[in-house]
Amino acid sequence: MADIIATNETILVVGGGISGMTAAIEAAECGKQVILIEKGPSVGGRVSQLYKYFPKLCHPTCGLEINLRRLKGNKNVRLLTMTEVSEVSGEAGNYSVTLKTTPRYVNENCTACGACSEVVDAEFDDAYNYGLGKRKGAYLPNKMAYPQRYVLDPQIIGTPDATKAKEACKYDAIDLEMQEESNTITVGAIIWATGWQPYDANKIQPYGYDRIANVITSVEFERLMDPHGPTGGKLLRPSDGKEAKDIAFIQCAGSRDRNYLKHCSRICCMASLKQTTYVRERYADEGKATVYYIDIRAIDRIDDFYQKVKADENVTFIKSKVARIDEDKASGNPILHGVNTEGYHRYANQHDLVVLAVGMEPSVAQDEFPVKVTINEEGFIEQDEANGAIFAAGCSADALDVNRAVQNATASALRAIQVVNRAAGMEG
Amino acid sequence: MADEIKIGAYICQGCGIGDRVDTAQLAQVAQRDAKASIVREHAFLCNAEGVKMIQDDIDNEGVNRVAICACSRRAKTEAFNFEGVAITRGNLREGVIWIRPDTDEARETTQDMADDYVRMAVTEAKYMTPPKGDDNTKYTPKVLIVGGGVSGMTAAVEAAKAGYQCTIVEKSGALGGAAAKAWKRIPQHAPYADPEDTGVAELIKAVEESDKITVHLNSHLTKTSGAPGRFSADITTESGSTTTENFGAIVQASGYFEYDARQLPELGYGKSANVVTQAELDAMAKEADGGPIKTKDGKEVNSVAFIQCAGQRSEKEGHLPYCSGHCCLTSIKQAMYFKDQNPDIDTNVIYTDLRTPGAGGEDFYRSGQQKGITFTKGAVSEVVASGDALEVKFKDLILDEDTSEKVDLVVLATGQVPNSGVDIEAMAAVVEGEEDGAEPEEPTAVQVPVESILNLTYRQGPDVPHLKYGFNDSHFICFPYETRRTGIYTTGPVRRPMDMQQAIEDATGAAMKAIQAIENAAKGRAAHPRSGDLSFPSFRREGCTQCKRCTVECPFGAIDEDEERYPQFNEERCRRCGTCMGACPVRVISFENYSVDSVGQQLKIVDIPDEFEEKPRILALACENDAYPALDMAAMNKVEYSAFVRVIPVRCLGSVNLIWITDALNSGYDGVVMMGCQKGENYQCHFVRGSEIAHVRMSKVDDTLQSLSLEPERVSVHEVAITDIERAPALINEMAETIEKIGMSPFKF
């Protein structure tokens, strides 16, 4: 990778989710030189794992397709996958950034023909499906994956599978000798768009995510609906593979709680409201959804989506923070215990499946940032002049929905452009 | 044509193509049937050597049309990205070998399919010209900003920091907008505990100190014409003097109106001076200047009730159906005005859902609780003036009982009504209605003074189209700045209800898009979603019948009419969807890289076997962004579909010209399947109404079918999503089954 050309007029974008892609493409379409790095093997981030968006109920892959086309056609963006930032030094307008690239074991010769995947045996948990399914040790991360290039799981390196994969490739695309690489580049500004991860539901002990098979997270629920997903789009519950028709959604699972995440993750209410429509989509009047909530935060003009869901007779709203969940051993049904605070009624409700609306946690832990920026208690990057020309975009800045994340990423692109234009002497 | 067409056809044998089809035959087909000048087979076309082979032909042999017969156009795009030539793709991998079984039986029809895709790719190349770009583009690095509030000033300051000139046109006599009347704002930095300075004075100072920003106060736009890169705006002052200036792009930050609280008599507004709106309370706080806030008659305030969602989130007539987003946090901020002054003052926020999102929102809420603000989940029914006090009657939703509370002051959290100008679509509907002799529609519930903001001279109306509830928002989740008027970006509360912090972010993003529009316009490049496309519509004036379909149907208002009532294309406004091309009954509109011929000749070159061969032909026209990728992904999953189909990606179903269907049927196709995006209220089409228009147009295809004595089932139109990896192939198979049932077309020659 000796051919990375970057100068103090180059913008580095860290993270290839929708915020990072947006920031990179928007800046590139202004004529700026951009290096976009992504830790994983393909771009698209969390939104590529969603079935639909609220409130339009359209598919995120549609927008991803547009963004990928913009990315493929734009020579101003250089994309580096499997790459992270390990060190940053310097100042606004002149940063020196060390990038670490882990081996993919597959080079650009790959045509995505799939021959390697066919011959390998070992299977691993599929991170794209949040571990709900398996994938081969030689794999394409998903059907929309870009770059459209296979990856060898490092766990098969040194095993017969690796040799088999290499032998199956007619295009000399598999390179088992690939090593971790380190490159230092100069850039003028950095857009930090490392996004979020779902809060670890195991930590919310009273909800039994680690003990009760039929308690899953909201992000896993998205994968069940996806026709590309582990169940081919069916709402099958984990314990017995039966269709789940009576589904409970627990809001603020790990959010708005001093024990877990202090902040409100903003998206979870709308996400659960959206997911109640999945129940209707699959079962029409046969399905039932119950939402346990503190406040329904369907903010601004999309409040009408909440009104629409509320009007659905098969959706029930219970104002309650669920106290604990246990399991009916015979049926595998989770039982929710708590108090409906509207009128103070105790309940012990059984459902087929429980979906925890888990909160958004910044992907990079506070003490793991390779660069000094102002970070708030919740772990999000604050806007601060002390950050120099390092600008947060999307969920690195706050818990944001897609629309706001993209808005924020577009703003960050301008902030970065201001710096590199200054470096270029364009600003008078 | 000045430069001679020289087509190179390149046939890849990789990924199993060479094993499954006879590539020598493909090469022959390319040369003999489709008349490619140079034809080469390659074992592995996308590798460095294959790419070099093509580049050498371009450099040394004068090849200027490249037909790559290999994988889908969605794959290996970067490898096959040659400059200065027209490139087409014959999809032999995802389109042929991956969707057909590898059996001896299937071999012949698979080969037929591949043969046709090669013919089609070469033919498309023949009818394409590499776009040269527009020679008449202008570079005008200057942004016009309408509105001098926080959003407008932010857009100006941020664009100026990137080196661009800005002009702010503000209708009032001062900068600052609504925010200038506020005492403090919701905090924007950790620890999010206390209201903070609004920052408006600083922003005004930044505007005034910038040598790149010009401000016109007491002014508005009386005429805006042109297009990105060459907008011309008449800026008129109150006294009537007008200056005309040129701009590259426009940011519309026209803000919002306060909801008229007089529509809430049940909450006591207008009956008691001590029932005020949030905006009025902020003005009172500003007047108190840090001292105790007093009632209008100068009395001390000991208790305040904040009523959330006043006239909002309500279906009642005259109310706003939406949530204004900021009001919960604003009430917390205002309750703190009292609590910070004197902790003994009772402040009660009565809400149904408290909405304080994000890290800052929840911290601020907690800070409010720590300061002793009461939060009551309740639904207020009435505010009654009783003596000196006000009685707030509400249902306590936690205790499940009706109750009331006496307070000195009531603050109503009323909402934001967008100042978005004329609703051009409602206007068009009224005009159409009048022409039909129908009554104009009843006016909608919430009335605001409707004056045009931009006074565009566009044929389609003077303002940016409204989305919902009068907001000028983008319709798309992933693309908040996807405007329907290229180079004009709305921002701030005119776009969606928002607070200052969001308005600042939003305006910075809008400034970014404005700059991008300026840069794109100068290079003749299309804006999103066909970013970078250098082609633009050209139009053969002699053939035009002035039917106006193109000017009416253009989703982006790109086409005006000239003095002689011919369409006048504004290339810089165009987004290259081709809706005009699809609309034109006399087929005089085309793009260099997409035309009636570039598609029409493809479908004509397909080999149509005679009816005794029992090989029907189905034409599938698939939206390039959703249906086509869905078919590609179906292929990756090895979903099989009929070998009789020939799929052509189209920019939008709206670009489909009826002649393609007529030609297909006339030349012996047995069926036509069209796949576009979701239409209707939640339309998915990024060209707005392409799919819908196509559905309407195709409802008229029955006449054609009738005149040919063909069954109506032979043409079908569908809404297909990118996730329809099973359904899209199934729709093709359905057509194949239908043909089997009703028989082959009699039009095989």
Q: In angstroms, rounded to a whole number, what is the distance separating the alpha carbons of residues B101 and B635?
A: 11
Q: What is the pLDDT of residue A4?
A: 78
**One domain, residues A28 and A156:** no
Residue of A nearest to B636 (CA): A143
User: Are B120 and B157 within one domain?
Assistant: no
Do residue A228 and residue B725 have CB atoms under 8 angstroms apart?
Answer: yes
Cβ atoms of B717 and B672 within 8 Å: the answer is no
The domain boundary residue, chosen from B130, B155, B180 = B130
Residue B257: Cβ within 10 Å count: 18
- For residue B180, being part of any structural domain is answered with yes
Q: Which domain holds residue A220?
A: 200-359
Residues of chain B contacting A227 with CB distance shorter than 8 Å: 723-726
Task: Kindly determine whether residue A111 and residue B513, on different chains, have CB atoms separated by under 8 Å.
Answer: no
Count of domains observed in chain A: 3
Contact B477 A403 (CB under 8 A): yes
- The CATH number that applies at residue B57 is 3.40.50.960
With CA atoms as reference, the chain A residue closest to B468 would be A301
What tens digit of pLDDT does each residue of A56-110 get? 999 999 999 999 999 999 999 999 999 999 999 999 999 999 999 999 999 999 9
Give B135: exposed, middle or buried? Use CB within 10 Å, 0-12, 13-18, 19+.
exposed
Residue A218 pLDDT > 90, yes or no?
yes
Statement to judge: residues A240 and A142 lie in one domain: no
Question: What pLDDT score was predicted for residue B449?
Answer: 57
B631 to chain A, closest Cα gap in Å: 12
Decide if B626 and A65 are in contact by the 8 Å CB cutoff. Answer: yes
Q: Is a pLDDT exceeding 70 seen at residue A201?
A: yes
**Sign of the dihedral defined by the CA atoms of residues B544, B549, B551, B553, in that order:** negative
CA distance A130 to A221: 10
Chain B residues whose beta carbon lies within 8 Å of the beta carbon of residue A413: 512
**Which of chain B's residues have a Cβ under 8 Å away from the Cβ of A376?**
190, 359
B468 Cβ under 8 Å from any chain A Cβ: yes
Residue B32 lies in a domain: yes
> B483 in a domain, yes or no?
yes
Same domain, A185 and A252: no
pLDDT of residue A286: 97
B678, A58: Cβ pair inside 8 Å? yes
Return the number of other C-beta atoms located less than 10 Å from residue A348's C-beta: 9
Tell me which chain B residue has its CA closest to the CA of residue A113: B15
Structure confidence by residue, pLDDT tens digits, A362-373: 999 988 999 899
A338 and A205 belong to one structural domain: yes
The nearest alpha carbon in chain A to B189 belongs to: A382
Q: Taking all residues of chain A, what is their mean pLDDT, rounded to a whole number?
A: 95
Q: What contacts B517, CB < 8 A, 6 or more positions away?
A: B228, B229, B248, B249, B486, B487, B489, B527
Point out the domain boundary residue: A306, A326, A359. A359
Cα angle B682, B683, B688 (rounded to 5 degrees) comes to 135
Looking at the 3D structure of chain B, how many domains does it have? 3
Q: Are residues B302 and B324 in the same domain?
A: yes
Residues of chain B with pLDDT under 70: 1-3, 430-449, 749
Q: Which of A315, A333, A359 is the last residue of a domain?
A: A359
Which residues in chain B have their CB less than 8 angstroms from residue A418's CB? 158, 161-162
Cβ of residue B14 closer than 8 Å to a chain A Cβ: yes
Mean pLDDT of A392-402: 97
Has residue A260 got a pLDDT over 70? yes
Residue B477 near chain A (CB below 8 Å): yes
If asked whether residues B119 and B161 sit together in one domain, one would say: no
Nearest to B166 by CA among B180, B179, B153, B178: B153
Question: Nearest by CB to A59, which of B398, B636, B722?
Answer: B722
Distance CA B447, CA B318 (A): 8
- Tell me whether residue A259 is in a domain: yes
Taking contacts as CB-CB distances below 8 angstroms, the residues of chain B near A272 are none
Q: Which B residues in the span 109-148 are in contact with A, Cβ-Cβ below 8 Å?
A: none
Scan for tokens 């109640």, then name that residue.
Answer: A276
Q: B107 and B155: one domain?
A: no
Rounded to the nearest angstrom, the minimum Cα separation between A90 and chain B is 21
Q: Using the beta-carbon criterion (under 8 Å), do A65 and B722 form an inter-chain contact?
A: yes
Q: Could you give the CA distance from residue B310 to residue B313 in angstroms, rounded to a whole number?
A: 8
**DSSP alpha helix (H) spans, B182-318:** 200-209, 278-288
Q: B212 and B280: one domain?
A: no
**Nearest CA of chain B to the CA of A329: how many Å?**
34
Pair A47, A185 in one domain: yes
Distance CA B326, CA B279 (A): 12
Residue B164 burial by Cβ neighbours in a 10 Å radius (0-12, 13-18, 19+): buried
Last residue of a domain, one of B108, B130, B152: B130
B182 and B44 in a single domain? The answer is no
Separation of alpha carbons A400 and A390, rounded Å: 19
Residue where one domain finishes, among candidates A359, A393, A411 = A359
Please tell me whether residues B309 and B413 are part of one structural domain.
yes
Q: Which helix (H) or strand (E) holds A94?
A: strand A94-101
Residue A49, in any domain of the structure: yes
Out of B77, B398, B479, whose CB is closest to A406? Answer: B479
End-to-end alpha carbon distance in chain B: 33
**Domain residues for B277?**
267-418
A1 occurs within a structural domain: no
SS3 call for B328: helix
pLDDT digits (tens, 9 = 90+) for B453-465: 999 999 999 999 9
* Same-domain check for residues A305 and A209: yes
Alpha helices in B480-595 (DSSP H): 500-523, 549-553, 579-583
B397: in domain = yes
**Neighboring chain B residues of A301 at a CB cutoff of 8 Å:** 322-323, 468-469, 471, 473, 496-497
From B474, B499, B523, the end of a domain falls on B523
B90 found inside a domain: yes
Residue B44 included in any domain: yes
Q: Are residues A347 and A367 in the same domain?
A: no
The verdict on B320 and B396 lying in the same domain is yes
Same domain as A157, residue A27: no
Q: What's the gap in Å between the CA of B567 and the closest CA on chain A?
A: 30
User: A–B: how many Cβ contacts below 8 A?
Assistant: 260
**Best mutation site among B68, B189, B355, B625 for testing chain A: the one with the most A CBs within 10 Å?**
B355
Q: Is residue B104 less than 8 Å (CB to CB) from chain A?
A: no
My answer on whether B396 and B493 are in the same domain is: no
A103-135 core/surface letters (b: 16 or more CB in 10 A; e: else) = bbbbeebbbbbbbbbebbeeeeebebbbebeeb
* One domain, residues B456 and B400: no
Q: Which of A351, A311, A302 is nearest to A56 (CA)?
A: A302
A315 falls in which pLDDT band (50, 70, 90)? very high
pLDDT for position B133:
78
In this complex, the residue of A18, A383, A410 whose CB is nearest that of residue B512 is: A410
Going from the C-alpha of B179 to that of each of A35, B175, B184, B571, the distances in angstroms are 38, 10, 9, 38
**B359, B468, B726: residue with CB nearest A301:** B468
Please name the amino acid found at residue B10: Y
Is the same domain home to A235 and A315? yes
Let me know whether B383 and B481 are in one domain. no
CATH number at residue A327: 3.50.50.60
State whether B187 and B241 are in the same domain. Answer: yes
A212 and A292 belong to one structural domain: yes
Q: Are residues A89 and A124 in the same domain?
A: no
CB atoms B508 and A414 under 8 Å: yes
Same domain for A136 and A264: no
Q: How far is CA A207 from the centre of its chain?
A: 23
Instruction: Say which residue the tokens 């200056």 belong to.
Output: B243
Contact B481 A62 (CB under 8 A): no
Assess if residue A5 is contained within a domain: no
CATH number at residue B189: 3.50.50.60
Give how far A413 is from chain B: nearest CA, Å.
Answer: 7
The three-state DSSP-derived secondary structure of A195-233 is CEEECCHHHCHHHCCCCCCCEEEHHHHHHHHCCCCCCCC
